[in-house]
Structure 1
């Protein structure tokens, strides 16, 4: 059993496909198959079976997947700490869900890096559904935004992580002034909104968020137009092109001024909660713990709730990063 074999297996298990793992690793699919064949022979377990569209793990494969993620993550962390032992500048690798990255990350992390000497951050936008596996693989030190869900087939959070709540928010439906449903005396069923375009930021409405769970409970599947940011989506709504589930504190002033109207929709406003998640049992970094504690302070809350909109998102290769400019 080698680290390379475990890395290949952990990736294939997470992606559910040998082809997808080969693509990420930049090798051929036969090379992935050969590595896993050696691992199967060493452990005396098939580990997975091939199914339509990918692979399905055996009970032994499920058991190994957890160990493989931890071992690979520890190896990567050890390699990084050794290489930075003399030049460590306190770099903190942060995974963030898109709404948090756009609306709060810039102001929060500007304040954090000013308060903590030597701290620097790299923030990448990731899907809520991927946060747990990315933390367990130690691709990131901390995840901010939606709470990472548990393994597939479970309904709760991932118990291998330490998640701390830090900010409550609400989502409300908004439209341009004059939208025909804004003066309805009773709440509008969401199904009545399906005739208009629904706008959202780059993440859309993800299943692992409170908004996604609300949508599932309503039993509807709207066509959602994803734009490069929620700020751009709001501009489309303001121009009368459709509707949007917006962050309540972001649109409060425009609702008060009449530039936007809040639609009375059944089940709204939708309450949400942002979380700061790290590995549990002391397996995370000191800097990640420092941020996790700092993010719950009154100063951090004030920074995240301050007006001013987005600090900026920029694409670098296949990932969206937060651009921390003033």
Structure 2
């Protein structure tokens, strides 16, 4: 047993699929499979129930997941970088959209606080239109948002990463067992439409290219409501991997399925006033994200 094995196990447990865990970790599926088999041999217990729809934790697997997370959390704390000697000090005003605030920023805010304790970040959560207005009126220094939704020519953007969109279905849905669905088939299903962060507008944009329309049963701004409705078999939806979790609040499993047509990715990144050059504390914030996502090393240098 080693730390890589624990990391691969946790990724598989959280994603529910070896393929998704391998993609997230940028390794081969065989590496993940071998690690899990090694853990099971080491522990003398089966950690997953394997099926065509994915990997479901056994009772032993759920118990071991808590221990594995504790170990990895302790390691992360031990490896936390000490504050830079040339401490950055100052206040910046950052705006973010709902999805970014909920599913992207918390990890990085904690890391920035560890790296730069003198950097104060004043956060505002708003919709895209209000953020764009705030950037252009100098109310905000920079924004973290869905750059795939930004089309204002007076703003500059940097996309940090692209999150794949997939079809979400209940674990026992025929699509999940098959592993693929066509848009013609999806159009026959009840559809749960998320509306927050222009998700409905984006969905209808790519649906319109198919010549089909989703049979919308419910429109909601709650991602958890969508998750529960799908897990309960009340409908299907198409959302990004960034907001995907394999379980609903009721503990029911959610599967993801490939589609026959390519779906645009959900892109997350930074935006600021056109021509503005970040300096001082804002440059620190800007450079942190660029180095974390866009540098060859994929991490802020020590």
2:26 aligned partner: none
2:171 aligned partner: 177
Structure 1 residues 241, 165: closer, same or farther in 2, change over 3 A?
Answer: same
Return the offset for 1:202: 3.4
Return the offset for 1:262: 2.1
1:205-258: per-residue Cα shift (whole Å, max 9, x none)? Answer: 154x5x564234335365452143x2443233222232232332554756xxx9
Return the offset for 1:193: 3.2
Which of 273, 281, 288 in structure 2 is aligned with 1:294?
A: 288
Task: Please report the RMSD computed on the Cα atoms of aligned residues, expressed in angstroms.
Answer: 3.6
1:265 aligns with 2:259: yes
Which of 238, 242, 246 in structure 1 is aligned with 2:235?
A: 242
1:252-281: per-residue Cα shift (whole Å, max 9, x none)? Answer: 756xxx922223434245423212011132
What TM-score results when the alignment is normalised by the length of structure 1? 0.51
Structure 1 residues 272, 196: closer, same or farther in 2, change over 3 A?
Answer: same
1:111 aligned partner: 111
1:27 aligned partner: none
1:26-75: per-residue Cα shift (whole Å, max 9, x none)? Answer: xxxxxxxxxxxxxxxxxxxxxxxxxxxxxxxxxxxxxxxxxxxxxxxxxx
1:214 aligned partner: 206
1:163 aligns with 2:157: yes
Return the offset for 1:97: 2.3
Structure 1 residues 92, 245: closer, same or farther in 2, change over 3 A?
Answer: farther
Structure 1 residues 275, 131: closer, same or farther in 2, change over 3 A?
Answer: same
Q: Determine which structure has more spread, i.e. the larger CA radius of gyration.
A: 1
Which of 253, 270, 278 in structure 2 is aligned with 1:276?
A: 270
Return the offset for 1:149: 6.0
Alignment of 1:191-202 (within 5 A): 192-193=186-187, 195-200=189-194, 202=196
1:94-141: per-residue Cα shift (whole Å, max 9, x none)? Answer: 222222111111111121122123222233333334443331112221
Instruction: Work out whether residues 97 and 128 of structure 2, in 8 Å CA contact, stay in contact via their aligned partners in 1.
Output: yes
Structure 2 segments unaligned to the other structure (5+ residues): 1-88, 296-302
Instruction: Work out whether residues 192 and 229 of structure 2, in 8 Å CA contact, stay in contact via their aligned partners in 1.
Output: no
Aligned length: 203
Distance 1:90 1:222 in 2: 50
What TM-score results when the alignment is normalised by the length of structure 2? 0.55
1:128-173: per-residue Cα shift (whole Å, max 9, x none)? Answer: 34443331112221111212767xxxxxx33432211212211111
Distance 2:276 2:170 in 1: 49
2:95 aligned partner: 95
SS in 2 for 1:101: helix
1:30 aligned partner: none
SS in 2 for 1:203: helix
Distance 2:209 2:125 in 1: 26
